[in-house]
Structure 1
Amino acid sequence: MFMKSYGQLCSAARALDIVGDRWNLLIVRELLIRRQIRFTDLQAGLPGIAPNLLVSRLRELEENGVVRRDTAVAPATGLLYALTERGRELDGVVRELVKWGAPTIVDAPPDATFQMHWLSLPARFLLKDSRPDDAPITIRFGDPRDGFDLVVANGTTAVEPCRLDATPGATVTGPGLSLVGLLQGAIPLAGAAAYGITVDGAPDALPRVLPSSR
């Protein structure tokens, strides 16, 4: 397949030849979060992309060793998309983009789309276990349809897809902009309800991990 190129003998330009096209890094974002995903679920996490364009982008990324196709394990059927080992090396790139873009969230268009699982990327580096001697707990943001679990234990935090067989100790829901502010420490937990944030379950779960509580 023909690939547009900057035609420069420069590693930054070569990287952009592969992942610099519109949607490519957001495809990587989805696969970093969801790990293995069907085409329809991938498209649902990329509102605004046309199916034929997604097919084209996935093909380009596959040809460049970033994405692979897996066959679902029985009894499931069909194809699943995932990052290759080379593709997973973009984790640090996406993480730095998330950090760099965080201050611009407040200036996003008022009709900007939000999906809860996108919040898992900033949660990975903003939320820390400040009480390592406390019992392990799972904090769920959203629900299994669109969300993630924050597993807190022994001084560590890990972001995982929602486990259907797990009962979270606390569940957090709310508007995207408010939740971003909460995770960044700009909105205090004590006043979170005024911003539309709801926390159900263990009352001491979020204070354990929020930056504003440390």
Structure 2
Amino acid sequence: MKSYGQLCAVARALDVVGDRWTLLIVRELLTRGEARFTELQRGLPGVAPNLLAQRLRALQEQGVLEQVPSSSAAAGGAYRLTDRGRSLEGVVRELMKWGAPTVPAAPRDAAFQMHWLSLPARYLLRDNRPDDDDVVLRFGDLHDGFDVTAVRGFVQVRPCAADAALAARVDGPGPLLVGLIQGAVPLARALEAGLTVEGDEAALQRVLPAA
């Protein structure tokens, strides 16, 4: 990326992460923990492979991410954020908050992937019944989703675990899920509008913000 050439912390930060796709790569790695090139490509619909490779190289050179052996059975290495890269979570969170009011106006054909919701879920979901037994909810599936665990007043959001004992699995249209997690759409209305819950609806209600 061409430098702004300014002695200013904002400009210097944008020299590193201001290119198109760069912060979305950070979003993917904040969401997944680590990801192989093909996984990043799937999570960034529309990015050209050569451009993605270029952005990854630049982020490595700037100390934002690093390559590591993949923890999955698949061959090849993976990418993960360094400590400096993970410190961008606050930046991404503020962008998320700033952009949330614009989501309802997104084009009708805008791409949606379930795992993109895992970051807002970290900040918006709550354990409203801390004295109940622990429960695990899955949004989406193993291919594209995340697990939410409500345990003793806390909510943990993680990539899907193949061996998780699920209380419920949740799926539905992207705009509806966004509204549900933001607390803008009550569960009853979401169910009427096409949300599907396989399992215990009360377990899902337990973690939702008040609508």
**TM-score, with length taken from structure 2:** 0.97
Q: Which amino acid in the other structure matches residue 186 of structure 2?
A: P
Q: Which of the residues 44, 64, 67 maps onto 2:42?
A: 44
**Secondary structure at the counterpart of residue 172 of structure 1:** strand
2:10 match: 12
Inter-partner Cα distance in structure 1 for 2:173 and 2:205 = 19
Task: Provide, for residues 25-72 of structure 1, a one-character-per-residue CA deviation record: whole Å limited to 9, x for no partner.
Answer: 000000000111110011000000000000000000000000100123
Inter-partner Cα distance in structure 2 for 1:145 and 1:103 = 28
Question: Does 2:77 align with 1:79?
Answer: yes
Alignment: residue pair count = 211
Question: Does 2:158 align with 1:157?
Answer: no
Q: Which segment is superposed worse, 40-49 or 69-78?
A: 69-78
Q: Which amino acid in the other structure matches residue 116 of structure 2?
A: W
1:134 match: 132
User: What CA RMSD, in Å, does the superposition of the two structures yield over aligned residues?
Assistant: 1.3
Inter-partner Cα distance in structure 2 for 1:181 and 1:212 = 11
Q: Which of the residues 191, 194, 198 maps onto 1:193?
A: 191
Q: Where does structure 1 lack aligned partners over 5 or more consecutive residues? A: none
Runs of 4+ in 1 over 4 A off after TM superposition: 73-76
2:176 match: 178
Inter-partner Cα distance in structure 2 for 1:97 and 1:72 = 29
Using the TM superposition, give the Cα deviation of residue 211 of structure 1 relative to its aligned residue in structure 2, in angstroms: 1.1
Inter-partner Cα distance in structure 2 for 1:96 and 1:201 = 34
Q: Where does structure 2 lack aligned partners over 5 or more consecutive residues? A: none
Q: Which segment is superposed worse, 180-189 or 104-113?
A: 180-189
Using the TM superposition, give the Cα deviation of residue 77 of structure 1 relative to its aligned residue in structure 2, in angstroms: 2.5
Q: How does 1:61-80 map to 2 (within 5 A)?
A: 61-72=59-70, 76-80=74-78
Inter-CA distance 70–212: structure 2 relative to 1 (3 Å threshold): same
Inter-partner Cα distance in structure 2 for 1:61 and 1:149 = 28
Inter-CA distance 73–23: structure 2 relative to 1 (3 Å threshold): closer
**Secondary structure at the counterpart of residue 163 of structure 1:** coil
| 8 Å Cα contact 2:36-2:70 kept in structure 1 | no
Using the TM superposition, give the Cα deviation of residue 184 of structure 1 relative to its aligned residue in structure 2, in angstroms: 1.5
